[in-house]
Structure 1
Amino acid sequence: MRKIKSLSGRLLHSSATQGGEMAKDQRLFKRAGKWTFRVRVPADIQDKIGKREVWKSLGDISHAEARRLARVESVKVDALFAEARAPASGLSLAQISEADLHHLACAYLHRLEVGAAAMPLDDFERRERAEEASEKIMLVGQSVDEASLQLVATDIAEDARLDLTGKPAALSKLTELVQRALIEHYSREADRASLAPECVYDPLFAGVTRASPPPVSRLTLARAVELYKAEPDRAGVSPKTRAAYEFRFAMLLELLGPEKVVDKITRADVREVRDLLMKLPPNATKRFPDAPLRQVAEIAGKNDLQTMSPKSVGLYVEALSALFRWLVKEELAARNPAVGLKSPALPLEADRRPFTAHELNVLFAAPAFSAATERGWMYWLPRIGLFSGARFAELLGLMAADVIEMDGVMMLRIEANAIRGVKTRTSRRVVPIHPELVRLGLLEHARSVPADGLLFPDAAGPKDMVTARNKKMGAAIRKMIADESVVFHSFRHTFKDAAQRADLPRDVIAALGGWDVPGGRVAMDGYGRAKLAAKLAAEIGKVQFDGVVL
């Protein structure tokens, strides 16, 4: 640091010997015989600072003393402004290394340099700026306000998610590094003011300039996932969704490496992980609990095991992309390497073909789907699916209270609840109960179950009700129909085909089934609420399945 001290001495000597009338001091004002320190907070950080101006009364003192105090306050304010512009780096809490602290100091200097005002100055103003910078060097170098430096260091650590409580050595080291960063900044300010070639005075900060990119974050993937899961906005996520994310992130951490720095994860890394996932069998960690995932992929390839579905692989890619979207938003990462990365091609929905009339008769006559089920969920879901086009989870999660009357029409209300979500914005809808379902006794069934419970209470029981019941439904369908292109979702296709045969308008079909409408419109936008229920009821009544015995 001797070079810095000699620089400050040279600048002080230069300012003292050049003489001349002093210009009005920046940030220092006199009113009614009293000096005041005032500085406007830059617009981009006013929300973080909580005010538009920093103001402090210095009292009835001499001009020289007022200037000295103003320089002390300027050091504090400059540090405060740089602090407010600091993105959180989210370093690991497990171990605070000296390299971590060096990174914080370099990032802090970079913010100071970027925030330094660049404006044309005349000779007199340059001398004034050089003198101010040299005095700030002395103030910081002599630790005029050590408590303020420590406060800045503490704030920097907190923004970086570093807990220095009970770590006096780390706090002391970071305080020293903050001091060095400030001295380096003011030394460069002095050079700029005196038109001298800009130098690096402290080797720690070599390569840190206003023109250089911010120092690369040292945030690890494991820590990034921790921060993402702890985000308050995710507190309301359902246990099922949280468990799914936990599982996916555990596999992604293994494949990418938990200690890999997020800003060093490339698109090639993400593409490699996606390709590896495509080689893994379903439930890989359960089937091969002791084997690394890369080894499991090799085993699956050698033994020609069935691999994960493209849809499942896409969920992993989306989970990683969601993590990086949040990191970029929080300024914890510079970019999202997974953005726009295509998931494996999904099978065309047309591969899940509609039922034929013969297949429907076979299903409805089978004991698993007939009245022999005592008209429980296995009886009702296929029939409602056939006459509404609703998805399996939408129907299984219906509550008794979702059977509603709207303008004299009995409807099923489909919206998110504790059991199921809705797939898209257009999935949230009301669907008139088809006359055939009324004839079969659906309204009487709704009145027979507790009003505050499930519409099909016999489906309750398993922890993951939708998954468990979907497997049972799928197995029952497969027992009767061997063709694997026929699944419960085929009821949705069957309804859509029947609606098209009945010449229902396109937006009516979209409104009934919750399909998207091109152009971002909401289906049935042209109908008022008073007409909506009657219009939908009239149209759905046209949907018929000739030759099908219910």
Structure 2
Amino acid sequence: MGKKEIHRSFGQVDYREAVKLARLESLKADALFAEADKRLFPASVQHGVASTDERLQKIARDYFRQLERSAAPVPFSEDERSDRLRQNEEDAANVSTSLNDAGLQKIALRVGREAGLDVSTSSRDSTRLVEAVQRALIEHHLRDADRAALRPEGTYDPLFKGADKSADQARPSLSFKEAVRQFKSAPERASVSPKTRAAYEFRYHVLTELIGGDRDVAEITRAELREVRDLLGKMPPNCTKRYPHLSLKRAILHSDKEGVAPMSAKSVQLYLDALNALFRWLTAEEMVARNPAVALRGKPAPEEASRRPFTTSELNQLFAHPHFAKRNTSGGWMYWLPRLALLTGARFAELLALEAKDVATVEGVPVLFIEPNAGRKLKTKGSRRFVPLHQTLLEMGVLNLVKDRKGTELLFPDAAGPKDMLTARNKEMGRRIRSVFPDKSLVFHSFRHTFKDAAQKARIPREFTAMLGGWDLPGGRAAMDGYGRDPLVKLLQEEINKIEYAGVDLRSGESEKSS
């Protein structure tokens, strides 16, 4: 043939197109050299070369599968995905540079040894091994770049066409229905609350019907999930109840044709998050090679009014209103919860589910223990805490709430009744606040914002504010980590008593004294 090297110019094309063209030219060059080999070497030698090539190609495909299996999940953050895309493109370019790269040769020899191939660094087989491993690395980096860019995953080298799928075919087929069952019964979900379990049972039932229970999870594509997302975006609340005689897909299309309002964008995202959680778990358990639902988003939800703190005049208006001015011997949750939230920074659920045992005295200081119980779970790691009761609350007689109650008896028994007490009472509280203030930015959580602002005005150190309100510090660290309980009590009591609301009458409009 008279050639040792072949040079090709691709003109002005972008990097990705250049890589594709380079791979095609490489394959053409391989064919040319193979033809030259046929002319130069006898058939007996050719048989040995072909056998070696087949083995090297198998080693390359096996190594490629190994790279794909070990690839990290695609990050959710756009910045992290951009970094990963850039890194993969750089890695593909670097690997493509030369077969003489020492790092590439070292990897190739290791891969060859692990595959049981006996090659020396100077042999012709060694060069072909390095090229085979190079092809696997380039293919892996280009596919991972596709994943990072959320593009459909391409095949850039025919050698690896279907290579990822052949690995999947080696494992038993797993239906979507069975995958959901295994996901729900995994040990890490054993402690899920009945309410949460019921919610995701329903979501996965809907997803199973839309995707198909018998669909092999390894074959589900990003495009399919986008179609599911679009269907969910048209699905109205109670869709199956509206059209009980239609399949879910037909019911969705029928409701869309009739102009029935679909469920909220926030609800749609809950289904997509459930899909992502399922495939993230399947990927971690090595049941599928990749997560086709990563970062799958529906239409953005309309912006909600930002929650804001109460002003002094708004607090006085609220506390003087008949809804919030009365307390009674059975608790008076509507009276006490806003006042407790204002002077502890606690969340609605943390307060409503308080039990008698959650109020105790430590080092002579009355404190409120906020811990998980049968009535509530805590939102974050830092939510588990104790809060010294503010002097104003003590003067208002908050300790009378525990006089005749013991152990797990509710501090506010008058809130009990509804099956889902927290949800029902939270909605009721929201309606009452809305009856006083039509402003949607004022909600019960506004008391928490007001507390945080008051702590800042009182110049309470940030870490102590986080301890009192149960806010996590940067890095997911709970503020109380590393502290003993008893030494902190008096210090936190001093800090919380610095909080004051000048001009706010917490007793305004009281018409009935507690006994």
Q: Is 1:462 matched up with 2:459?
A: no
Cα contact 1:217–1:261 (8 A) shared by 2: no
Q: What residue number does 1:494 align with?
A: 450
Q: Report 1:73-222 matches (<5 A).
A: 118-119=115-116, 212-215=166-169, 217-222=172-177
Q: What residue number does 1:257 align with?
A: 212
Q: 1:529 to 1:342 in 2, by over 3 A?
A: farther
- Return the offset for 1:243: 0.8
Cα contact 1:217–1:332 (8 A) shared by 2: no
Q: What residue number does 1:414 align with?
A: 370
Q: 1:250 to 1:458 in 2, by over 3 A?
A: same
Please list the CA deviations of residues 130-151 of structure 1 after superposition, one character each: whole Å capped at 9, or x if unmatched: xxxxxxxxxxxxxxxxxxxxxx
Q: What residue number does 2:334 align with?
A: 378
Q: Is 1:540 matched up with 2:500?
A: no
Q: What residue number does 1:231 align with?
A: 186
Q: 1:209 to 1:395 in 2, by over 3 A?
A: closer
- Return the offset for 1:448: 2.6
Q: 1:404 to 1:258 in 2, by over 3 A?
A: same
Q: What residue number does 2:225 align with?
A: 270
Q: 1:225 to 1:209 in 2, by over 3 A?
A: closer
Q: What residue number does 1:443 align with?
A: 399
Cα contact 2:434–2:440 (8 A) shared by 1: yes
Please list the CA deviations of residues 77-122 of structure 1 after superposition, one character each: whole Å capped at 9, or x if unmatched: xxxxxxxxxxxxxxxxxxxxxxxxxxxxxxxxxxxxx9x9853689
SS in 2 for 1:549: coil
RCO comparison, higher one (Cα < 8 Å, 6+) = 2
Q: What residue number does 1:405 align with?
A: 361
Determine the C-alpha separation between the residues in 1 that align with 2:243 and 2:404.
47
Residue of structure 2 aligned with 1:515, choices 466, 471, 477? 471
Cα contact 1:280–1:308 (8 A) shared by 2: no
SS in 2 for 1:510: helix
Please list the CA deviations of residues 308-333 of structure 1 after superposition, one character each: whole Å capped at 9, or x if unmatched: 252x4443233222222332333322
> Between Structure 1 and Structure 2, how many residues are aligned?
351
User: More displaced, 354-363 or 429-438?
Assistant: 354-363
Q: What residue number does 1:180 align with?
A: none
Cα contact 1:363–1:369 (8 A) shared by 2: yes
* TM-score for the superposition, normalised by structure 2: 0.60
Please list the CA deviations of residues 501-525 of structure 1 after superposition, one character each: whole Å capped at 9, or x if unmatched: 2212111221111122113433255
Residue of structure 2 aligned with 1:504, choices 454, 460, 467? 460
Determine the C-alpha separation between the residues in 2 that align with 1:292 and 1:391.
42
* TM-score for the superposition, normalised by structure 1: 0.57
Q: 1:353 to 1:288 in 2, by over 3 A?
A: farther
Determine the C-alpha separation between the residues in 2 that align with 1:511 and 1:323.
34
Q: 1:341 to 1:211 in 2, by over 3 A?
A: closer
Cα contact 2:265–2:298 (8 A) shared by 1: no
Q: Which amino acid aligns with 1:543?
A: I
- Return the offset for 1:235: 3.4
Q: Is 1:367 matched up with 2:322?
A: yes
SS in 2 for 1:369: helix
- Return the offset for 1:445: 0.8
Cα contact 2:307–2:441 (8 A) shared by 1: yes
Identity %: 54
- Return the offset for 1:262: 1.0
- Return the offset for 1:382: 1.2
> What are the ranges of 5 or more consecutive residues in structure 1 without an aligned counterpart?
1-113, 123-206
Q: Which amino acid aligns with 2:116?
A: M
> What are the ranges of 5 or more consecutive residues in structure 2 without an aligned counterpart?
1-110, 120-160, 507-515
